[in-house]
Structures are given as C-alpha cells and as structure tokens.
Copies of this chain bind each other. A is one copy, B any other.
Amino acid sequence: MPASPIRKLVPFAEAAKKRGIKVYHLNIGQPDIETPKMVLDAVRNSDFKVLEYSHSAGNESYRKKLVSYYASVGIEVTQNQIIITTGGSEAIQFGFLACLDAGDEVIIPEPFYANYNGFAVAAGVKVIPITSNIENGFALPPIADFEAKINAKTKAIVICNPNNPTGYLYSKEEMEQLKAIILKYNLYLFSDEAYREFCYEGKQISALHLTGVDDNVVIMDTISKRYSACGGRIGAFVCKNAALMESVMKFAQARLSPPSFAQIAGEAAIDLPADYFDTTKAEYKQRRDLIVKRLNAMEGVFCPNPGGAFYAMAKLPIDDSDVFCQWLLESFENNGETVMLAPASGFYGTEGLGKQEVRLAYVLNINDINKAMDCLEQALKQYPGKTN
C-alpha cells in the first residue's frame, strides 16, 4: 500500500507552522468555500431520537431527490440505479471490488488521483497508466495508446472528468472515443465526476450522457466538492447495469449503511437555489484565471489553462518537485510565509514522470492566492535545484 503523496509532506508543514511560518495550502482539495448554511441547518434542525442505520443503499428519500438532481444535469436514472456511498472514495472501492477480480487490470490516464492506486492495491487490482502530457493540457491520450495496453485482464478504464489533478475537461469527441473503445473490448468505464459543476470552458459530458453503453458505465460521485461538504463523506455509485448494482449492494450491505447525518445534508443540498453553482463557479473561475496568469508570468513556468475542477498543473524549472515542495516548507520563507504544493510524481503511475510538475489546488481566496504566488515566485529565484 503506497503512502498518500499529498499527505506525506504534512509533518514538514506542521514543523514550519511551529516555527511561526504561515503556510498557504494549495496542496489539497479542501475548499475554503463555506458549506451552504441551509445544508448544515438541515442537520442541525433534524429531530430524530435514534441515530439509526439507514438503508444500505442510502435513504430512499435522498435517492428520490437525487433522481431529480441527475435529471437537472441531463442524466436519466431511477432511485434503484443509485447507491449512496461513504464519500466518492467508497464508490471507487465498490467499483473495483464488484467489477474486477484480483489480478485484473484497470487503465487510467496519468497523472491521476493518487488514491485510485490505493484502492486498486486494496482490491488486488493492477493500475495500467497511459501518459497524458502537459504540452497539450493533458488531453485524452491517443486511443491507440489504450489499445496497445488492453489485454485479456483489462476490465475497466477510469477517468476523472473534469480531472483531478489536471483540471482537464474531456471533449464530446474524446468521450465518444472512450465509448467506442469500451464497446469494442467490452470494458467498464468508471467516470469520477466529483467536479461536474465546475467547468469554465464549455459543459461537462457525463459518461451517462453516452448512449448505448448503459451496461458499461459507472459514475462515481460525491457531495464533497460540489457543496464544499468534504467531511460529510457522502457519495454515490450510479449505474444502469442491474446485475452490477445487485453485486455492489452486497458490498454495501456488508458495511451496513452510509453516514446518516450527512445524508440529511446531501438531501437538503438538492434544494439549493438554482444560482448556487453560478456563484461558486464564478469564484473558482476568477481564482483559476489569476493562478494561471501568475504562474505563466514566472520565468520558465508553464501552466496550461484547466477547463474545470479547481486544480492546475504547472511545469516548473526545477530538478525534482518532491525535493522542491519539501524545501518550500523546510528551508524557505518569504516575509514569514510559504506555500505548500503537491508534487506531481505522486499522480503518475510511471516511475520518474512528473518530476518537474506540481499540482496547485485553487481553494484559497484571491488575496491568499496572490500571496502564495508571491512565495512561489521568490522561491523559484532562490531554490538551489533550479534548472534554468
């Protein structure tokens, strides 16, 4: 089991704080956006007397409401095609456990959300990475690259759309290419759509917008980022394949039920006013525009413009981003401040890739992002391992 690449620097951040350094956290996808008050209030005003197990698939009332939520984003599903999970994390676990046997392979374009690897290890499944490149903004790799890796053990392709860590938003054409290949080889398409609402260049094409692949497509979903409700640990496994849902239900029953409090929060969130996402999205877009502009203005830095989510990947003029990110916390300060970034090496399955890249989560306000960029700009001037 690999250690979390994002969390391994935490002790260095804690030490920096103990030395009195202010640390700007661009390293983790924990938004500073307030959870909508009506969502928290739904929990605070709840009046049950026994904190009971819910249905293993989640409360029926919540699943019914989710049907209307999905309809609002053009996804037609019934309540029986939704299983509420403990965070998006558990939806991913369920997918690996129910669809793949030990020794099977799953193809994932890299860089990818590092915990896919952890869940694969836990399920005894092998991740086969296919490299996407910063030069074209991490577009879907050529389908020929996928076909070259597909063999009898290949059971699924995982995408995250819009993407964590790259922010890339897959186009209609790319989604149709994926559809063709999963049909050709009869694979599952696991689509992690945690960031669905946060698209700044066009709209998301959901895997469940694809037609004729109902038995092959699974959406892994979560309320974590959508409503800034990461601590709730509520997600969803959404799929039209009845046999697969029956299999997933067995795993759901084994762990009894998803958390009850946060199901109340998730259900309330569906009644948020229609402009909720407009406001949040406008805030994130402003941050994205700023961080991309600041990064590309630094000498030797390249940051493609991400189409969605709240992450940017940047290529820096440095020898090794793991060393650099640790150095930022251990040996650098700019007027008593520094910045914490996620080294990209942890997002690549292929050893040695991403050594010049970092992921930046724009989860801080404009003011803090500017200060964090001031730190980075100064740091790149002082870092001993600079390459240009």
- Docked-complex contact A119 and B254, CB < 8 angstroms: yes
- In whole angstroms, what is the CA distance A238 to B371 when docked? 41
Copies of this chain assembled into the complex: 2
- Docked-complex contact B87 and A51, CB < 8 angstroms: no
- Docked-complex contact B35 and A49, CB < 8 angstroms: yes
Partner of A51 from B50, B51, B97, B231 at Cβ < 8 Å: B231
A175 on the interface (CB 8 Å rule)?
Answer: no
Main secondary structure of the interface of A (DSSP, over half): loop
A261 on the interface (CB 8 Å rule)?
Answer: yes
- Docked-complex contact A90 and B255, CB < 8 angstroms: yes
Interface residues of A in 166-181 (CB under 8 A from B): none
- Docked-complex contact A233 and B265, CB < 8 angstroms: no
Q: A44-B46, A102-B124, A233-B260 are in contact. Are A118 and B51 (CB under 8 A)?
A: no
A247 on the interface (CB 8 Å rule)?
Answer: yes
Q: What is the 8 Å Cβ interface bit string for chain A, positions 26-65, against chain B (1 contact, 0 not)? A: 0010111111000110011110111111101000000000
Contacts of A1 in B (CB 8 A): 97-98, 247, 250-251, 254
Partner of A49 from B34, B50, B260 at Cβ < 8 Å: B34
A257 on the interface (CB 8 Å rule)?
Answer: yes
Most B CB contacts (10 A, CB to CB) among A32, A86, A251 go to A86
In the complex formed, the residue of B with least CB distance to A59 is B231
In the complex formed, the residue of B with least CB distance to A223 is B51
- In whole angstroms, what is the CA distance A259 to B230 when docked? 9
Show 24 residue pairs from A and B whose CB-CB distance is below 8 angstroms, ordered by the A residue. A1-B247, A3-B250, A4-B254, A7-B56, A31-B50, A33-B50, A34-B50, A35-B50, A50-B228, A51-B265, A53-B231, A86-B86, A90-B255, A97-B122, A118-B254, A122-B123, A124-B124, A231-B260, A231-B261, A233-B257, A233-B258, A259-B262, A261-B261, A261-B265
